Amino acid sequence: MNTTLTIKMDKKLRDEAKKTAKDLGVPLTTVINAMARQFVRDRRLVLEAECPFPSHSPNAETRRAIRDVQLGKNLEQFDSFEDWRKAMRSQK
């Protein structure tokens, strides 16, 4: 059984998404359904690395952390989620 989902989206984004889907030869509904299936199957959401909103640009501390990750510096590794949680709790 099909149902209708109404979402709010920037008009420019919607138009660009429709055009891109059309260029690929599929309806935008097919794209959205494929993304929803992947989200349910993988149980994860991948967001783009750069924020498209200038007012949400990272502060200096966040930029340093991003740079460290890219360079592989100042990183901690944990064998399990439980080990990570203990480490986070001990920092309070």
Q: What is the pLDDT of residues 3-44, one digit of tens each?
A: 999 999 999 999 999 999 999 999 999 999 999 999 999 998
Residue 46 DSSP class:
-
Does the pLDDT at position 48 exceed 80?
A: no
Number of other CB atoms surrounding residue 40 within 10 Å: 8
Does the pLDDT at position 82 exceed 70?
A: yes
Inter-helix orientation angle 11-24/28-42, to 10°: 100
Q: Name the average pLDDT for the chain.
A: 88
pTM for the predicted model, two decimal places = 0.50
